[in-house]
Structures are given as C-alpha cells and as structure tokens.
Chains A and B, each alone.
Chain A
Amino acid sequence: MPAMAPRESNPNFMNGVPELLILRLLQEEEMYGYEIVQAIRSRSEAVIKVGEGVVYPVLHGLEQEGALKSRRKTVNGRSRIYYSVTAAGAQRLVELASAWGSLATAIQKMLTGVQHGAAIS
C-alpha cells in the first residue's frame, strides 16, 4: 500500500474562519460533518484545505456555545448527526461576517497601498 502523507492544512483556516464558514453553510440547510467539509471544499474551489476530521471539534464547540443544534437522523440506513444554526448562531454569523469583512477590506487596502508605493518608487 503506498504511504500517503496527510494533506497540508491552511493554518489561517484555524483562526476563527471555520466558525464563519460553518455557520454560513448551515444557515442554508442542515448538514452532517462530511457534507460540511465537502461543501467548504467545493465552494472555496479547494483553496481552503483542512484535515477533514478537525471540523468536528469546531462543530461541537459551536453547539456547546448554543450557536448550533444537532439531531440524529437516519438516512439510507445510516445514522448521522445533522447540525443546524440556532438564533444565537445566526447572530454570531452576522458578527463574524462583519468582523471578517472589515479585516478583508483593511488587508485589501494595505495590499493596494503597497502596490502604489512600489509604483511611485
């Protein structure tokens, strides 16, 4: 059997972004862990890479904070834990999205400023 190295994770993914992405995805529909990871991968066009198993501590943490709720559902003979967003989770998503938007704008401004500076010199 060929040895396979674990995929390289994007470290930035772990800095509050997983919560944002998960809440955003689950706002649309309830999903189980595997579906969430596949949705993140396909929607980010595989830019965001993560060891897939690490999504569960984030899900459990959000559930414990009251941002998510879970229920066990049997689909095609398999019992799965589906997660969905609570009212508190929706509020959290608004706050996280706002904070992330501000940060992204600030970084964009910085990058634009550096380019201008380089053009002047």
Chain B
Amino acid sequence: MAQLFPELFPELRERLLRAGVAPRHVRRYLSELADHFTDLKAEEERAGRSGAEAEAAARARLGAVDELARAMVEQRQFRSWCARAPRAMFGVGPLLFLAAAYFLACLYLWFGWRVFLPGADTPFGERNGSMYDLANIYFQAGKYYYICAPVLVGWGIGLLAARQRLKAVWHTVALLLIAWMGATAQIQASRTAVPGGLGHISMKFFVPGAEAQVVGGLVHALVIFSLAALPYVIWRLNQGDARSA
C-alpha cells in the first residue's frame, strides 16, 4: 500500500493518529484510499497517460492530504477513547488494569495455598522440598508475575500511547500512578479462625511512615517507572531519529 505513493500515506497516517482518530479507522481509510488510487491510476493509464502522469492525475483526483485528513477528523465518532477521554483512560484506566492484575495474583496465590499448602497458616512461609518441585515453581511464578505486573501494565500503556501518537504527558501520568500503586501494594494472607476454613487473602496500599520506608518506596517506584517507560522512550528516540534522517 505504502509503495503506491510513499510520501502521502505516512503523512496522512501520522496526521490522523495525532488528531486522535482511532488506529483501526485509520488503517481502513488508508486501505480503501490505496485501492481507490490504484483504480484511478488504471483509469488514467487507459486514457493514454504515461505511468508518471497517471499517478499525478490519480493523486490530484484523490485529494490533497489536508482535505483527506480534514474529512476524517471532522467525523468525531472515529476518535479513539484515548483522545476523547484521556483523563479517564490514563488516570483511572491503568489503576483499574493494575488492580485487575493484582486480583489475579491474589486468586493465583489463594489457589496455590489451597492445593499445595492446605494446612499452612500462610502461603508465604518456608516450604520444604526441592527447588524444582511443582509447588515451588508455582509460587515462584506467582511471585514474578506479581512483581512484573506494574511493568507489564506500563508497557501496555506505552504501546497504546505509541500507537495513537499521544502526548507523552498522559503516558507519564499513567506510569507515575502505576509506579505509586506498585511500590505501595502489599498482599496479606491469614487463615480464618474457623478450623479448616478457607485462607483469607487481602491487599492494601501502605503509606510510608519511617524514613527508610519512604526511601525504599521511592526507589521501588523509580525502578517500576524506569522499566515501564523504557520501551516507550526507545520508541520515541527511534521516531526522532527517523524524522531527522
């Protein structure tokens, strides 16, 4: 598609994405424009024009980039949710995603507790057995998932921001919230007073009190923020290089 008239399509794509048009609508628009351009060029060639002349005529008939972009941007229903409600998408959305990820982590822990440690008071205690036994692998996998969840959510947000060419400020706000939530989250597990009862798992977000806690929390938040932001930063740098090339 882009080989047909390389200088027009990337520019139109960028303009539409930056104007907040959802990527799926941009993709479809460009695909139909490419088909239309092919038909126009063929028509002009049938009329006796040379290849280059036919291409120029087809471009003129298709419309200028300004006109093509304006026609799409004016249709407000094609705007992505990130463009329509960035505060909700990048202020509340990431927190909900991370909360859902933590909920899954708690569910995973609770299931492992019931299956592998049915009599234990807590799933966090010392476990006997080989490092390679199933229980150990299960709980280690859960631990890494819990640790990586904020970073994974951050990468997802970065992908969204990059695909839709959003301003870096929204991505930064989302990552700050995720870093704060990730750095202050704690999972607690205790067995209920009822003998043989189900284990109780809960989450809380602590407020750092002591200086050591504050420093530890900040370092943790900084690590999450840096790791979550890394792919987006690399993408931005590549974009800058591509533009200056």
Nearest CB on A from B67, distance (A): 4
How many inter-chain residue pairs (CB < 8 Å) link A and B? Answer: 81
Q: Does A60 contact B (CB under 8 A)?
A: yes
CB within 8 Å for A6 and B56 given contacts A52-B62, A53-B36, A56-B33: no
CB within 8 Å for A54 and B29 given contacts A7-B60, A7-B61: no
Number of interface residues of A (CB under 8 A): 26
A57 touches B60 (CB 8 A): no
**CA of A68 to CA of B50, assembled, Å:** 37
A60 touches B67 (CB 8 A): no
Chain B interface, >50% SS class: helix
**CA of A81 to CA of B77, assembled, Å:** 20
- Which chain A residues in 39-77 approach chain B with CB under 8 Å? 50-54, 56-58, 60-61, 64
**CA of A32 to CA of B35, assembled, Å:** 10
B35 touches A80 (CB 8 A): yes
Nearest CB on B from A87, distance (A): 21
A residues whose Cβ falls under 8 Å from a Cβ of B: 1-7, 9, 32-34, 37, 50-54, 56-58, 60-61, 64, 78, 80-81
B residues whose Cβ falls under 8 Å from a Cβ of A: 25, 28-29, 32-33, 35-36, 39-40, 52-53, 55-57, 59-64, 67-68, 71-72, 74-75, 77-78
